[in-house]
Amino acid sequence: MSYFSSTDPNTTLSGVSCGPKCSCGPCRSDQRSLSEWYEKEEPEPPPPPTAAPIAPAAVNPSQNGNGLAGWSRRGAGLGFSGYGRLGFYSQTPAVAPVPLVYPQVNAQLPVAGTGFGTYYASDSRGRPDNPPGYHRYGLSEVIRAIEGIANEWHRRHGQGPRLGIGDISLLGGGPTPRHGAHQRGLEVDIRLPRSDGRELPATFNDPNYSRSLTQELVDVINRNPILPVRLILFNDPGVSGVRAYPGHDNHLHVCFLPPPASTVPNAAAVSNQTPTPNVTVAMVSRMFPGTPLANIQTNLPFVLRALNDAGLGDKAMILMALASIRVETGNFTPLSEFQSRFNTPPGGPPFSLYDNRHDLGNQGPPDGANFRGRGYIQLTGRSNYQIHGAAIGLGNQLITNPALANQPDIAARLLASFLKRKEQAIRSALSTNNLALARRLVNGGSHGLQAFTAAYNIGRTVIP
């Protein structure tokens, strides 16, 4: 029931080694060309007859400065202190604490909340975990996504059963007991729903297992609006939207994609860009007359972060992005395109004028409606969803779930990706103050040029 996963599909195992002398599955494996590798947990060997007695941590704990009894950090990872396990100690002294592997893995899921409870209060031998909740840490966005999924589950099934949430990561991430994965605060185990409503373990072969509820849960997870899902591991062949792998008969292993804040910008892009100017909500509100300040406060950080990560954090490109948002959304929120005479024929299906737009990559109904304009930039067409979705690390997720393009962090990264592909031409137009050409490079015409020009020129005077 343990596994290792690289969250970067282009990463090889040689780039994600836990550290010297690590004995986890991928570090032992010679299949180092794989970008993903999972290992079924091996049974622990019995202690040798001469081993020191093992006692509960509550009696004689060995703490290592990270709050983890019986464990010590060695280099980039965690290692056993003899046969000490989390919640137990050995007579091997703990080493001095070192910085956390992933400091941003610092948000803890509560023991229970709306629509969920937690399990794994003890390890595979029935020994209590100590300290409690040590394995329920993740990125703050992941914790919010789990709570959001549970809230939606509660809305649908208010009388229960609640979702059973298992392991996520250790505080600070890094190698972790029971798993080879769960190292970066991006993965969570969720127990299978049962048909009898009891909050107990089940496998997909058990008579009380509910396939219909499990399928519903998988759909809720994949469609959650907070954080995109990379994959779900589960072995029931009757459930869609999952990937089979040994050791996943009794739980869903959910791996989220990293949120923008946890990604590392391209080093060359960062070194070559002009530092981001001090852009405030008050400044941007001057460019968006009549827009609620709350909209700007909520969405501006996503946009600035995405532009900066893409190497577009200088004044000219920030003004280009904000002026485009002013025209495309009006009120600084990602939104879906409205029906109009430009996309819908009189009496015809909504957005059907887009269905066979081969210049947009559409392949016929219902592509027009599925890939209508969305987000801050009003991304339109199957090709754009495919190209820019892949460019920001979503693979085909925008094709299977186009509504993700309206999620603020994703909408911001799509905006940055779109501008990045035309960066050279846009910069050339802006350098000669040819705002009409700059607008045409985004919109394909002159629609909204007056509002774009007004917003750009206001921003030019208020943003330093």
Residues 309 and 206 in one domain: no
Same domain, 243 and 271: no
What's the confidence (pLDDT) of residue 110?
85
Neighbour count for residue 9 (Cβ, 10 Å)? 10
pLDDT, mean of residues 429-454: 93
Same domain for 180 and 118, yes or no, is yes
Dump pLDDT digits (tens) for 302-345.
899 889 888 898 999 999 999 999 999 988 999 999 999 999 99
From the list 99, 165, 178, 98, the residue with the least C-alpha distance to 138 is 165
Write the single-letter amino acid at 305: R
Close Cβ partners of 286 (under 8 Å, ≥ 6 residues apart): 458, 459, 462
Does one domain contain both 324 and 383? Answer: yes
Q: Which residue has the tokens 């080493």?
A: 95
Q: Residue 15, Cβ neighbours under 10 Å: how many? A: 11
157 close to 197: Cβ distance less than 8 angstroms: no
In a domain, 7, yes or no: no
Q: Do residue 216 and residue 334 come from a single domain?
A: no
Angle between helices 315-328 and 423-431 (to 10 degrees): 100
User: In CATH, what number is assigned to the domain containing residue 114?
Assistant: 3.30.1380.10
Same domain flag for 137 and 232? yes
Task: Give pLDDT tens digits for 115-167.
Answer: 998 886 444 444 455 555 678 889 988 998 999 899 899 999 988 899 999 88
Helix (H) or strand (E) holding 308: helix 293-309
Q: With a cut of 50, say whether residue 62 has pLDDT above it.
A: no
With respect to residue 73, please indicate whether it lies within any of the assigned structural domains: no
User: Do residues 254 and 272 share a domain?
Assistant: no
DSSP three-state, residue 213: helix
Within a domain: 32: no
Number of domains observed in the structure of the chain:
2
Q: Using the 3D structure, point to which of 214, 243, 260 is the last residue of a domain.
A: 260
Mean pLDDT of the region 192-215: 94
User: What is the average per-residue pLDDT within 238-247?
Assistant: 89
Which ranges constitute the DSSP H helices of 114-235?
140-156, 211-222
Stretch 217-229: mean pLDDT? 89
Residue with tokens 């969250």: 7
Same domain? 376 vs 291: yes
352 pLDDT band, cuts 50/70/90, is very high
Tokens of 197: 């409503």
With 60 as the cut, is the pLDDT of residue 274 above it? no
pLDDT of residue 261: 46
Does residue 177 have a cis bond before it (omega within 30 degrees)? no
pLDDT of residue 67: 30
Domain boundary among 231, 260, 289: 260
Q: Are 225 and 273 within one domain? A: no
pLDDT of residue 260: 66
Residue-level pLDDT at 113: 87
| Residue 182, domain member (yes or no) | yes
What tokens does 76 get? Answer: 């980039």
CATH number at residue 395: 1.10.530
* Residue 26: inside a domain: no
- Same-domain check for residues 247 and 273: no
For 391-405, how does the pLDDT look when each residue is reduced to its tens digit (9 = 90+)?
Answer: 888 888 999 999 999
374 lies in some domain: yes
For residue 219, being part of any structural domain is answered with yes
pLDDT tens-digit readout, 90-103: 222 333 333 456 77
Supply φ then ψ for residue 193, to 5 degrees.
Answer: -70, 145
Please tell me the predicted confidence (pLDDT) of residue 37.
Answer: 31
Residues 316 and 360 in one domain: yes
> Is residue 338 domain-resident?
yes
Sequence-separated contacts (24+) of 439-443 with Cβ below 8 Å: 439/324, 439/327, 442/324, 442/377, 442/418, 443/327
String of b and e for 87-122 (b: at least 16 CB within 10 Å)?
bbbbebebeeeeebbbebbbbbbeeebebbbbbbee
Query: Of 260, 278, 307, which residue constitutes the final position of a domain?
Result: 260
Alpha helices in 422-462 (DSSP H): 423-431, 435-443, 449-462
Same domain, 133 and 213: yes
Which residues have C-beta within 8 Å of that of residue 203, sequence separation ≥ 6? 192, 209, 249, 250
Q: Which of 199, 198, 197, 194 is nearest to 211 (CA)?
A: 194
Give a three-class secondary structure readout of 344-397. CCCCCCCCHHHCCCHHHCCCCCCHHHHCCCEECCCECCHHHHHHHHHHCCCCCH
Domain residues for the domain of 212 are: 107-260
Residue 356: its pLDDT value, please? Answer: 94
237: burial class by Cβ within 10 Å (0-12, 13-18, 19+)? exposed
